[in-house]
A and B are shown apart, each in its own frame.
Chain A
């Protein structure tokens, strides 16, 4: 790069006239840049209040930009953005299609809702002198997650993965429970192994194709399929990404990280981080390696199927026996991720639609639950079953919200959980596996048990003296949480918006959709 000549510059010279600034042209990068610039500004200002305001502005503007992008690609178009005007595949390309635009909206939407909630929750759970650092990490994490989703470059993806991971380790460690430090450290070790595997996989792909641009890589991979390095790359990427998305035997970091992180962080990460990793998996499987190379040449489907079933049953069973409610729902997250990967394992349009729609629906459901639990943590200081007895009498809105979101976890009709499970069952029947449909319903019964444990504790026990003194959670926390609960119900009753987005994304990933 140091010795280029002017004549062979691979760039298209842009018009230099100032009047030509079209902000909308730069949408594919702005949603990452705005939080990325907000982060150092917060450190310079060193003020918790300003930092919160900046974080809110950054999240909301990212949401606006992402929504505009989704609208632009809704017709099936693809936006390609060349960073630094170096034409892809030489330069870094940002590539927005209906798959990642859907995810961008999801991530920035959750961030925008959680940031309102943060104000009071962080006030209570994080030391005042660390507030500005909390919001710095929050927007950095947001920028990282959005960057992973938007980029079309293998190495850039890894860099953003590291940005989001490192900031989430810090966010988790800020929890007031001292065990948060250990949980964060555990996540750091596991996450770093995952990231290392991912970069080894990308490196092997680069070795064989000579390119880092994912679209270019996909085209060049056809010439070298069935070689050993490519198989190794597939294995490294699968394991590495599975670590980050907490697929069943690799989920060990997740329960502690979710249980001891500050409430707002748990809600934000539970709703976004694993979902973005799932997107990375889908992107590599379908857009880079290609469906046939992953699912037909290797028994990926069977492996995913077994691990998903194990996640659904084992993690749900473990969840039932948890004492800490946050930990309970963290294990439930592992189980729900199992449903998503189950949808992927069918390798069909319906299965993929189910996976993507559940990705969205579970983000809403778990986001709502963890936000509401944060309200209990704020008032009570703990979220263990023995402490919350009878809490529904003093915090009726919070408890009822958790019950509604819990119904969505079970998959009761009228909630988003039903929509995803319906499509999962459809996909199972479509692939001829009736027994799988039965297993999906059976595993939902396990969810009934752990949600019932909350109902029993909250509604049927007599409040203790310390519980009966409590008040309802503050409005600034209830409103964002209930927005999510309302979204769970709304998209459960009228699923046309989410389903059309998901099926379009699935069709985009499976070009010869059958």
Chain B
């Protein structure tokens, strides 16, 4: 894609907005449609887009394989960790009510971190799948 100037310029412009939109979907998930899964897919799509236009090695430099693997695990750990936090604060597993001073505040905090965990893992898994398929044949897959 080295010669397609239009694509390269537009891609650079769009990727910003894609990431921003992902964050909007993520944080607006409390009040409207959206949430961690959708935001994770959109943010991964931004990296996939970057990889398509600028090449797989460039994408791998931005988000290395190692980081992708850490993301997959870290999101799950964050999710499970919120559950354990509920336990440690005297509630049941995944109990958000005890996370804040009053129950509604606790629910907000709980779902915030849960959705964050979902975002991290979903983005990681999407990228992992993309890297594995895109890297097939040139020995970079796995």
* Inter-chain contact B93/A26, CB cutoff 8 Å: yes
* Inter-chain contact B92/A83, CB cutoff 8 Å: yes
Query: For chains A and B in complex, what number of residue pairs have CB atoms within 8 angstroms?
Result: 79
Q: How far is the CB of B108 from chain A (nearest CB, A)?
A: 11
Complex CA distance for A170 and B95, rounded to whole angstroms: 32
Report A406-455 residues with CB < 8 Å from chain B CB.
Answer: none
Q: How far is the CB of A129 from chain B (nearest CB, A)?
A: 10
A2 within 8 A of B: yes
Complex CA distance for A358 and B91, rounded to whole angstroms: 39
* Inter-chain contact B104/A6, CB cutoff 8 Å: yes
Complex CA distance for A504 and B142, rounded to whole angstroms: 50
Complex CA distance for A46 and B74, rounded to whole angstroms: 13
B73 within 8 A of A: yes
Complex CA distance for A339 and B88, rounded to whole angstroms: 45
A476 within 8 A of B: no
* Inter-chain contact B97/A85, CB cutoff 8 Å: yes
A13 within 8 A of B: yes
Q: How far is the CB of A156 from chain B (nearest CB, A)?
A: 12
* Inter-chain contact A44/B74, CB cutoff 8 Å: yes
A20 within 8 A of B: yes
Q: Given known contacts A14-B98, A21-B90, is B103 in contact with A6 (CB within 8 Å)?
A: yes
* Inter-chain contact A85/B72, CB cutoff 8 Å: no
* Inter-chain contact A13/B93, CB cutoff 8 Å: no
Complex CA distance for A317 and B77, rounded to whole angstroms: 48
Taking a contact as CB atoms closer than 8 A, the residue among B77, B89, B93 that contacts A84 in the complex is B93
Residues of A within 8 A of B98 (CB): 14, 16
Which of A34-42, A273-281, A367-375 is near enough to bind chain B? A34-42
Q: Give 1 or 0 for each of B59-96: 1 = CB within 8 Å of chain A CB.
A: 00000000001101110110011011011111111111
Q: Given known contacts A9-B103, A37-B77, is B92 in contact with A43 (CB within 8 Å)?
A: no
Complex CA distance for A20 and B80, rounded to whole angstroms: 21
The count of chain A contact residues (Cβ–Cβ below 8 Å) is 29
B4 within 8 A of A: no
Residues of A within 8 A of B83 (CB): 33
Closest to A11 in B: B97
* Inter-chain contact B103/A37, CB cutoff 8 Å: no
Taking a contact as CB atoms closer than 8 A, the residue among A6, A16, A82 that contacts B89 in the complex is A16
Complex CA distance for A304 and B73, rounded to whole angstroms: 43
Closest to B106 in A: A16
Q: Given known contacts A14-B97, A33-B80, A33-B83, is B73 in contact with A44 (CB within 8 Å)?
A: yes
* Inter-chain contact B73/A26, CB cutoff 8 Å: no
Residues of A within 8 A of B31 (CB): 2
Closest to B32 in A: A2
Complex CA distance for A15 and B93, rounded to whole angstroms: 14
Closest to B94 in A: A84
Residues of A within 8 A of B81 (CB): 37
Residues of A within 8 A of B70 (CB): 43-44
A134 within 8 A of B: no
Closest to A18 in B: B90
Shortest 9 CB-CB contacts between residues of A and residues of B: A43-B73, A40-B73, A40-B77, A84-B94, A29-B93, A40-B76, A85-B95, A37-B80, A14-B91
- List 7 interface pairs A-B (beta carbons < 8 Å), by A numbering: A33-B84, A33-B93, A36-B80, A46-B69, A81-B93, A83-B94, A84-B97
| Given A16-B89, A37-B81, 10 further pairs, Cβ under 8 A | A14-B91, A14-B98, A33-B83, A37-B80, A41-B73, A43-B70, A82-B92, A84-B96, A84-B97, A85-B91
